Structure 1
Amino acid sequence: MKYGYARVSTSEQDHAGQVDALKSAGAVKVFSEKISGVLAVRPQLARAIAALDPGDVLIVTRIDRLARSSRDLLNIVHQIEKKKATFRSLAEPWANTDTPQASAMLTILAAVAQLERAFILARTKDGRDRAKTLGRKFGPKYKLNQEQITHAIDLQREGRGLREIATLLGCHASTVSRTLQRHKPEEEEIA
């Protein structure tokens, strides 16, 4: 069975031309939606893929109606292939997964996407390392400043409970607990 998927980015656009082309190509049912391709969650696309049975075909008019990037295309094609179905683009026959040429092309795209991902990770690591060298600290910001931490330690030494300390400092008891764990005096850690 052949299914179609049509998508336009805004509500002002009309996907009737896509629907007609998909039906002319033999699509028995066309799943269509008006949603930005930037959004990872596209309900009608998910329904179209879920409807596929082994041997079925999912048809689109152009790849850009299906995927936002080569990585996105590969992920969607992988989902289709897991269903033992095939993918077909009316405008880009080189991407049709029912041909050996398409398998080769998708393998090349996968390699390029993997290389692109490696470059992104390397650039991100370089940027983080450079920022650390310049004194930038990563991770969550502490809720209590140094004066409040010292006050919390003093209150704990006086025998006050976590909830009471938290109320006095205007935070949650778990915040006080984590802070006191992080700032245990060294003699307590040794004991």
Structure 2
Amino acid sequence: MLIGYTRVSTDDQHLDNQRSALRAAGCQRIYEEKISGAKRARPELNKLLDHMREGDVLVATRLDRLALATRDLLELAEILNRAGVGLRSLGEPWADTTSPSGKMVLTVFSGIAEFERSLIAERTTAGRLAAKSKGIRFGRPPKLSAEQIALGHRLSSEGTSVREVARMLNCHHATLYRAIGTYITPADSN
């Protein structure tokens, strides 16, 4: 079954031309929506994906109707491939996963996207290591300062309960237990 998908970005745009092209291509059912292609959560596209069955073909007038970013398009193509569903673009004849050449082109694009993701991961790792070497700390800022941890350690070692100290420091007792557990006294740091 050929199932069409039409999309325009704003309410004042019309779907008529896309609808006509999809009907002429033989689409028995057409899902339509007026929403930005940059949004990943699109209700009609999600309904379409839920409706599709193995052997169906998703047809769009152009690939940018399905996704604006290459990565999003490749993710969609992979979802369709896993479900045994084809993908065809009327405006880009090379984008037809029901043909051997279309599958090959999409495979090449997928390989390029995977290569790009691995380069991004390498650059991210290198950037994080460089930042750490400069003393930049990642993650959530600590709830307690070094002075508060020292005070908490001193008060709890003098007999005040950890829960009471945590109330004084306005933190959860588990936070204080973790901080005290890693506390290094000034004498230990010498």
TM bracket (short chain): 0.7 to 0.9
For 1:7 and 1:178, how far apart are their aligned partners in 2? 52
CA distance in 2, matches of 1:54, 1:107: 20
Q: Relative to structure 1, is the Cα distance of residues 12 and 169 closer, same or farther in structure 2, using a 3 angstrom cutoff?
A: farther
TM-score w.r.t. the length of structure 1 is 0.88
AA at the equivalent of 1:48: L
Pairs within 5 Å for 1:107-146? 107-146=107-146
Q: How many residues align?
A: 186
Aligned to 2:82: 82
The CA deviation string for residues 49-82 of structure 1, in whole angstroms up to 9 with x for no partner, is 1111222111111101112333222221122122
Higher normalized helix content (fraction of residues): 1
CA deviation after TM superposition for structure 1 residue 101, in Å:
0.6
**TM-score normalised to structure 2 length:** 0.88
Deviations 1:118-168 (A, max 9, x none): 221122122222222222122321011111111111121122223211210
Report the more deviating stretch, 100-109 or 4-13: 4-13
Which whole-Å CA distance do the structure 1 matches of 2:4 and 2:165 have between them?
A: 62
Distance 2:10 2:130 in 1: 40
* Equivalent residue number for residue 163 of structure 1: 163
Task: Provide the rounded CA distance (Å) in 1 between the counterparts of 2:84 and 2:111.
Answer: 22
Question: What code does the residue aligned with 2:61 have?
Answer: T
**Contact 2:31–2:45 (CA under 8 A) maintained in structure 1:** yes
| Equivalent position of 1:189 in the other structure | none
Is the contact made by 2:150 and 2:183 (CA closer than 8 Å) also made in structure 1? no
Q: How does 1:12-27 map to 2 (within 5 A)?
A: 12-27=12-27
- Residues in 2 aligned to 1:155 and 1:33: alpha-carbon distance in whole angstroms: 63
Over 3 Å counting, the alpha-carbon distance change for 1:33 and 1:160 in structure 2 is: farther
> Structure 1: 5+ residue runs without aligned partners?
186-191
Give the superposition deviation at 1:184: 6.4
Correspondence for 1:48: 48
Distance 2:9 2:163 in 1: 51
Match of residue 33 from structure 1: 33
Q: Is the contact between residue 5 and residue 30 of structure 2 (CA under 8 Å) also seen in structure 1?
A: yes
- Structure 2 runs not aligned, ≥5 long: 186-190
Cα RMSD over matched residues? 2.0
Q: Report the AA paired with residue 35 of structure 2.
A: I
Letter in 1 for 2:18: Q
Q: Output the CA distance in 2 between the equivalents of 1:68 and 1:59.
A: 16
With over 3 angstroms needed to count, the CA separation of the structure-2 counterparts of 1:25 and 1:139, relative to structure 1, is same
How far the C-alpha of 1:176 sits from its partner, in A, is: 1.4
Q: Secondary structure at the match of 1:3?
A: strand
